[in-house]
Amino acid sequence: MESLRWWQRAVFYQIYPRSFADGNGDGIGDFVGMAARLDYLRELGVDALWLSPHYPSPFLDCGYDITDYTGVAPEYGTLDDFAAFLREAHARGLRVILDLVLNHSSDQHPWFVESRAGRDSPKRDWYVWRDPAPGGGPPNNWTSIFGGPAWTLDPATGQYYYHAFLKEQPDLNWRSPALKAAMWDAARFWLDLGVDGFRLDAIATIFEDPELRDHDLDLDMDALVDVNTLTPEQYERLMGRQSKQPGLHELMRELRALVDAYPGDRVLVGEDDDLTFHGSGEDELHLVFNFPLMRARRLTPGHVRANQALRLAALPAGAWPCNTLGNHDSPRVWSRYGDGAHDAALARLHLALLLTLKGTPFLYYGEEIGMADLQLGALEQVRDMAALHRYARLVGRGGVAPEAATRITLATTRDRCRGPMQWGAGPNAGFSPPGVATWLPVHPNAQAGVSVAAQAGDPGSLLGFYRRMLALRRATPALVAGDYEDLPEAGQGCLAFLRRGAGQACLVALSFAADAQALDLGPVGGRARLRFASAGRAEGGLVEGELALGPFEVVVAELG
């Protein structure tokens, strides 16, 4: 354990600043509110916080369209408020990493305003500008990840600018030495303030094919409404020349050298699942998300086994795994993996999976109380511009009736997983004062026990389970530092594996079935002492011969 670095031992907790805690009563979360909830996070048992973007922004892409890389959005407070939050987090032993958005800025950023002022602007090459195609129109047939062309014409200068996402998010040109220096200065600004690292947004899209070659996907692009409807093979052919281009790994090594120059072991976490971003294991990113684990519509023992076999075998020497099941872009765990009949048991099972697999776990705010996806009732409630953009394309190019397009938009918007944190059962669930209009609606289930206040004093609640599981992980060296060894003979409905290391060996048995399962302990020596169980077992008792698991039961036992 002592040989591991802090980010290998830590459990991370992602906070969406707009939705966590409203400290000034305006319906929007802020740093004063977050600072007031730090004791809750420390008592929960997490070790580090990842903040989604807190920078000034028009909020057309939920804060990922930035107008100042070294500022704080006024709705979240001031730079002094941020510094106070960071100081108080560190005083409680909580590390803090920020979202660093490298691929693009807002079109309202002063850099882009100056860049588009004229072809001779000193910052013209800070963004990707190109002349029209010889016959007119965009320089090539590239598409935006949010749908539509990836090029927008600036009539004043007669050139197009490139944007991998919304047209209000022009791509930064990392081939410009001056732009790169300015972005590294922004990173140093936050590191100088004491942040513990960065989660790097959309890193695969930082560079584009410099020859601007067309993609060769044989598809009616005018009829394409959403790239997420493509198969993985189609997506690769469509976006291959807009992502993972030469120069990317060199840039990551440069950033790694920058953060390594700071004391305190700062960390870089990549929003990608490509293990090559680890580089040699010591010279690029520290952590890369295991997104393939969470992409399954339903988690099964077979999927987890196959995922772990592939990911752990492919890790470069010296690299460390990183697992998550949810974030600000995906449906909440409760809604995504629930089955309507066993939602609470499944929520416990999936947390246990995250905390017992090898690697650094990332949790998403509100999962610990079972927050579910918001069910918005009208298009006017949607704040996710990408969803509204998709709605317009459904109605326009897709020929979908507005009523049907509205239903699709409300069922798929990312706003569903970004609702206000549910602290209590009163009006606005304790997120904002009663009578204040919150930026997104509060889920009505806050009045039915899905809140911190309702669960805090109940050891049998989901929150109580989170606290117990987090405490178990912290107190069990093998669950943090041990190697992973699959036990494939566990059976179809059961996932069982060993974690061996740090002078300890533990058996983890997880039932993914709604009926009883039996696990033969013979392959692990036939005898183990119970450390943790999700239901009805006395901790400390011996488990011998065969372990009978109840529906969706979690068991952790120490061998020997």
Among candidate residues 81, 99, 196, 271, the one labeled active-site is 271
SS3 call for 530: strand
Residue 26: both structure tokens together:
């305006």
Cα(545)–Cα(258) distance, integer angstroms: 54
Beta bridge partners of 528: 543, 559
Residue 127: both structure tokens together:
């963004």
Cα(374)–Cα(444) distance, integer angstroms: 9
> 491 CB contacts (<8 Å, ≥6 apart)?
517, 518, 519
Cα(370)–Cα(412) distance, integer angstroms: 20
Is 368 known to be catalytic?
Answer: no
Residue 323: both structure tokens together:
């697992």
Among candidate residues 99, 201, 284, 367, the one labeled active-site is 201
Cα(28)–Cα(30) distance, integer angstroms: 6
Q: 288: alpha, beta or left, given left = phi > 0 and alpha = psi -120 to 50?
A: beta
Neighbour tally for 221: CB within 10 Å? 15
Is 273 known to be catalytic?
Answer: no
Place of tokens 């698991």: 549
The answer to whether 486 touches 313, Cβ cutoff 8 Å, is no
The answer to whether 406 touches 388, Cβ cutoff 8 Å, is no
Neighbour tally for 213: CB within 10 Å? 12
Q: Is the dihedral of CA 270, 271, 277, 281 positive or negative?
A: positive
Cα(113)–Cα(152) distance, integer angstroms: 15
CA torsion, ordered 518, 521, 527, 528, to nearest 10 deg: -70
SS3 call for 29: coil
Residue 520: both structure tokens together:
């033969």
Residue 23: both structure tokens together:
């400290």
The answer to whether 259 touches 266, Cβ cutoff 8 Å, is yes
Active site residues: 201, 271
